[in-house]
A and B are shown apart, each in its own frame.
Chain A
Amino acid sequence: MAQQNVLLLVSLIGELLLKNGAETYRVEETIRKVGSAYDFVKTEVFALPTGLFISLEDKDSQSWTRIKRIKHQTTNLQKVSMVNDLSRQITTGQIEVNQALMELREINNHGDSYSAVTSYLAAGIGGVTFSYLVYGLRLELIPAFIGALLLEIWMHSNNINKFMAEVVSGGIASTIGIVSNYFYPVLDYNLIILGIIIILVPGVSITNAARDIIGGDSLAGIVRGMNALLTALAIALGVASILGVKILV
């Protein structure tokens, strides 16, 4: 049935956008536009980072509702961009529902556009260039590069709870910093640790949280803000538990 398919389509669109780091207003607006493109007179949608509530109403005032639980958030802006393209096609070109569903499945299964090695190297370069911008050209950049690269490899391969993974990451970063400082005392371990953990900083969530709150999606913004704060605390906990031993001993 056509209406059921539209309902499935919009819930999949919303899920894909929310999972991959889109702002709340983009999710709600996209769903509203797609709903009206498929002749629904009313589209109500309430999006949170952890769940999605959609209700569609057609001309005969019959309504369809779907609730979707969202878990496991990542940042994959390639997919956000692809869904954005698809919704633009739907609203202007009027693609058929079934075809849109097929394309959406394709987007969902779309592999990463960068090879694993590229993203590891990018993490290394990101760590080095960030610490260069803060402190200039120093010897600390070398361990920062290696550390950021290793950390990205570890974050890719581990399969444990996100909070724990971040705590361990903080621990790895400060261990690398302290070990480099132990063998080469000229190296300042603070600068090394800083360069490594910058790749974990929840920049996307913080920006989205602020935009959500100002845009009126206060609940979504608070949830995102809490997640970002939790990430920051996890990293700090990991760094502090290793570094604290060094400082206090």
Chain B
Amino acid sequence: MELDILAVFLATIAFGIIFKLPKRTLFNSGLAGVLGWGGYNLAFRFTHNQIFASFLGVVVITVIAEISARLLKEPATLFIVSGIIPLVPGSQAYFTMLNLIKKDYQAGFETGIETILIAGAISAGIIFVGVLARLKTNESNLR
């Protein structure tokens, strides 16, 4: 459990460095990653639905990102892009390709749909919170 948290934190920060985040935003993006991963696991334990769990995890990440964005006066994306890395369906995408190479189209179709649904849930989570965060600031921000 502790090792998992450490791994999520390190993964988020490592990808933050690859995307060249400003140094002072690294800790908060790591925090967003850890809490989002926690939210994902909690939701998965109760519902056993990977898509819903991904959505909830990303909602947590985006909420933390919006708060950090206001505290540190930085764009919220900075905290989101690396925070979602532990949740992206990288392994599903890989096995989709592998199944297609093996000409196992049935399995490929299944993993492919799963990949698309998880990716969709992640985008939906970001947009969901993003729209809510911009509801209060009127004028040009509302779009």
A residues neighboring B (CB under 8 Å):
21-23, 25-26, 29, 32-33, 75-82, 84-85, 88, 112-114, 118-119, 122-123, 125-126, 129-130, 132-134, 137, 152, 190, 193-194, 197-199, 201, 203-204, 206-208, 210-211, 214-216, 232, 236, 239-240, 243-244, 247
Is there an interface contact between A84 and B74, defined as CB atoms closer than 8 Å? yes
Residues 4-57 of B at the A interface (beta carbon under 8 Å): 4, 7-8, 10-11, 13-15, 17-23, 25, 37
A162 → chain B closest CB, angstroms: 16
Residues 38-88 of B at the A interface (beta carbon under 8 Å): 73-75, 77-78, 80-81, 84-86, 88
B107 → chain A closest CB, angstroms: 14
Is there an interface contact between B101 and A207, defined as CB atoms closer than 8 Å? no
B residues neighboring A (CB under 8 Å):
3-4, 7-8, 10-11, 13-15, 17-23, 25, 37, 73-75, 77-78, 80-81, 84-86, 88, 90-91, 93-95, 97-98, 100-102, 119-120, 122-124, 126-127, 130, 140-141, 143
Q: How far is the CA of A26 from the CA of B130 in the complex (A)?
A: 13
Interface SS of A by simple majority = helix
Choose one: A119, A193, A198, A203; the contact of B81 (CB below 8 Å). A203
**A243 nearest in chain B by CB position:** B101
Contacts of B93 in A (CB 8 A): 201, 232
Choose one: B80, B95, B98; the contact of A243 (CB below 8 Å). B98
Contacts of B75 in A (CB 8 A): 22, 26, 80-81, 84
